[in-house]
Amino acid sequence: MVIIVSTNYLKHDILEVNRQPEHAYFFSYRDKETALTYDRSRSSGFTLLNGAWKFHYGRHPNDVDEDFFRNDFNDSAWESLHVPSHWEMKGYGKPHYTNVQYPFPVDPPHIPSENPTGAYRKIFYLSEVKERSVIRFEGVDNAFDLWLNGEYIGYSTGSRVAAEFDVSDLLIKGHNTLAVKVYKWSAQSYLEDQDMWWLSGIFRDVYILSKEPAGIKDFFVKTTFEGEYKDAELNLSLDVTEETVGKDVKIELLDKKHNKVFEETLSIDQETVSFSKKVEAPEKWSAEDPTLYHLLFTIEDNGSVLEIVPQRAGFRQVELKDGLIKVNGKRILFKGVNRHEFHPEHGRAVPIDVMEQDLKLMKQHNINAIRTSHYPSDPRFYDLCDEYGFYVIDETDLETHGFTLINDLDQLSDNKDWEKNYIDRIRRMVERDKNHPAVIIWSLGNESGFGQNHLAMAEWARGRDETRLLHYEGETIRILDESNYEPKTLNQSADFFSTMYTDVGRLEKLGKQTHLDQPHVLCEFAHAMGNGPGGFKEYTDLFNKYPRLQGGFVWEWIDHGIKAVNEDGDLFYAYGGDFGEHPHDGNFVIDGLIFPDRTPSPALLDYKRAIQPVKAELEGNQLTITNRYDFIDLSKLRASWVLKQNGRILDQGEMDVSGIKAQKSETFDLPLDMSAVTKESQLLIECHTKNTERWSDSGHLVAWHQFMIGSGVTYPTRHTTDEPITVMEDGDLLLLKNGQFELIFDTFEGKIRTYRVNGDLLIEEGPANNFWRAMTDNDSIGHDDFNTRPNKEAWKQYGVDHFQERIEAVSVDLDGDDFVIKVKSTLAPPVLSWGFRSTVTYTVRPNGVITIDVKGDKFGNGPLTLPKIGLKMAISKWLDQVTWYGNGPGESYPDIQFATRKDVWTLKSDELGTPYIMPQENGNRSDVDWVSFTHSDGTGFLVKGNDLNFSLRECSTETLDEAKHIYELVKEDTMELNVDYKLNGIGSSSCGPGVLDKYKLANESYQYHISLEPYTR
């Protein structure tokens, strides 16, 4: 029967037509050597249909020719579209970003009549067709109908799980015509409201599998350990076709070097074969030591090989024991991230080399766990996770977050009419991914309220797979008492407590709840939007302190910026609203630890340090090293120490840490006399990889610690002489000069106009009081859920961004050979009556040094905190080499500086900034005692102080604050230099708690001192 027009996509209770039951992801081979390559392109009967397809884009389903599926349909006028891809990424329609909002009226199961529809056609050639053939789509967003050679095949929903159809009766040798009709919206769209771009089309692989009638349909590999976690039991369940009954299956287990562990042959007398085997002392799989064995299933008929199916196997046991999540009997700590599938040019059609790039980056930054937010990933990703070693929370493709906006989040989750939809999604995920040792937890979905359908999902999952745990945050938040965070009961649908963005105060309370039989995991924390998040260390300190706090997953891995070009040809990364879509949620999709081009952000470096697996403690000259791995010793690491002073190495050596077992410590006596260190110095401890790893070169830095020793800063040497200063007045301008320098001071404005040394213009506009910074995402956004009011809102309400200065008095005095200029002024915003009575004292010395003493006495009632307290000036662009003694080499802020250490650093001026996709405050260096700005010839000036901050940029703070994209950052003729006394922290209030009290900059009176000094080397 030929079906021309299908309306199944309108019906919530029709999930599929003729779709085959899901099964494990595997391929068949004809010989053992090829099977062990796991190269699907060399597997039996595999034909990949990726590549150029004919494509027609319709505004709605009826905007597609009703005969498009026929073999003789003329598609010559159609365009070509690469599969896999999203049509919006190729210029058809437009990407649309929302976080929570559905982009259509919420009236399930109804969807918009304007429903963009993609018609695909592919003619492919087969030189051979076997009796058992299927076509498999690994991912199609959102729903689709399928035809082959003019005949209707079926229908499927569920964008991010596979759909497989039997085409044995229709596939022919020679040319075949495949037609697919993909609907952007279906009734199932209500279940896929994840925080990401709405993107459509065939975005994962499509292929044909053509096999002999006899063979394997599915299998399930389980491993358990006996009481001491030494010997293991390997349990197998094998489903075969009816034609396989009467034949034999040979089961082989090979170790990681392909040496045979055992081999057994069984006669197949029914379509399900069960097998158990004790394996003595196998090497265990963990994220730290991902040892994989190889199972080979060989179907034989009288000694003739019909097919060989390989499967990587890891011996590991996951359980909830002693109130903790344990792997192989040991508590584990999740040092995780939430990973959406995303590529700036391909959307969720992520190439496999990029998947591997992600995992290498994660390993390089000490990450050991991944939550596949919020849907199953490409099936090949899990093979890589098995091999590289990651704990995976595999998440069901299910989210109904938009129902919160109509105050009915449970509408679908607690509606039995939708129960089969929920179970269908977890069932297909579990069946596909059940043989991966990396997958240790199944997740029931995300932000879908809580109801009977979640309980039904949990019941099904536990009945199918007792070897893994279940996760669902939506139940936990219902059973936690809001006042004291004490749970009213244990979770039913999940095996542990899970919350999002819990502040450290509440988290510590949760850590102390040792009477509970379920541990606690943060499935999302530390929202990595823009500059931030701050406070990684405070979280990881709690994870290490309280056993029942078993870590968390940072939100999220990557910025979802789409590569775009503006009208002037400038490259930028687009976010919500940049395509004119409505509604949208702006740059909330730009919230990753890596930028869209997969460059690490400063936050990723901070996270790496916070979760590093080696801890160091110093007492006198005794150094204690603690191994924070859960399973492995430190034999793969080379540990070294170096004592530095003012950038110079004073002494160095190595330590043998190879014998330190997991969770154990060892103390070393360093051959150093700490009391002999008379100037401020740094003892740096580093641990590097000894050998090349799959994820890094040898010498990769895994962990480090720095200890400050001694006191007294060593400053760079200046080459200047004292010469008498002459003074001239010209109206409001005061000229102070000698043979070395020239200073013009504006007595009307109360600040330095210019500063020259040896005729070179260094400062083009003198220091001015400044309290404003370009707002970060974490300054700009707050959430009622976390009781966070945006700092930006309060600061602007009190006019911090529009301070005005009224000069009260300017005095000039001679103090010996020094000239002292004192400026008294009032700093305050318009309209309001609060601010600071300011006194800035400039002391100009004969050697060209200018000391600046700054004092501000607060009056009136202003905001509780300030963005910053400091000075802003304009310096010449030719001073493009920056050297400082302070935290580096990257940017740092009060609560996000764990990845930086104190030393002497040098960068070019244009290397100091961080190119956040949404421009905002960036590039600060903290704990700075001196910084020089010089030309390549060494000419320039030095700023000295005590624990100062500085930042330098080619655009103004005002431009940075107003810009929405990097291309809007218009460069000035000078560079803006900020020298700041103190800064407010960053926090994570874009989605989570605000700045911790200890990192807040209180709105109080202040006093500080800096000096500007001519400098030549």
φ/ψ of 475, rounded to 5, equals -80, -40
Rounded Cα distance, 364 and 356, in Å: 12
* CA distances to 143, 350, 765 from 82, in Å: 19, 13, 55
25 in Cβ contact with 433 (< 8 Å):
yes
On the 0-12 / 13-18 / 19+ scale of CB atoms within 10 A, 654 is exposed
Residue with tokens 């500080």: 1008
Rounded Cα distance, 151 and 870, in Å: 74
- The two structure tokens encoding residue 932: 């020089």
Rounded Cα distance, 901 and 705, in Å: 9
On the 0-12 / 13-18 / 19+ scale of CB atoms within 10 A, 189 is buried
End-to-end CA separation in angstroms for the chain? 87
Query: Which is nearest to 892 in space by CA: 957, 955, 953, 983?
Result: 983
Rounded Cα distance, 379 and 171, in Å: 25
- Helices 379-388, 352-364: axis angle to 10 degrees equals 30
- Which member of 138, 252, 319, 447 is catalytic? 447
Element spanning 779, H or E: helix 777-780
Catalytic residue flag (residue 447): yes
Contacts by 99-103, CB closer than 8 A, 24 or more apart: 99/195, 99/401, 99/585, 99/588, 99/589, 100/193, 100/195, 100/401, 100/402, 100/404, 100/405, 100/585, 101/402, 101/405, 101/583, 101/585, 102/189, 102/190, 102/193, 102/402, 103/198, 103/581, 103/583
Q: Running DSSP on this structure, what letter comes out for residue 600?
A: B
The amino acid present at 818, given as its one-letter code, is D
Rounded Cα distance, 926 and 902, in Å: 9
On the 0-12 / 13-18 / 19+ scale of CB atoms within 10 A, 793 is middle
Rounded Cα distance, 435 and 1006, in Å: 62
Catalytic residue flag (residue 617): no
Contacts of 22 (CB under 8 A, 6+ apart): 161, 162, 164, 427, 428, 431, 432
- Which member of 419, 524, 891, 921 is catalytic? 524
902 in Cβ contact with 845 (< 8 Å):
no
Residue with tokens 């200029």: 821
Rounded Cα distance, 687 and 705, in Å: 9
Query: Which is nearest to 596 in space by CA: 578, 567, 571, 569?
Result: 571
552-571: string of b/e by CB count within 10 Å (b at 16+)? bbbbbbbbbbbebeeeeeee
Rounded Cα distance, 965 and 577, in Å: 12
Which residues carry out catalysis? 447, 524
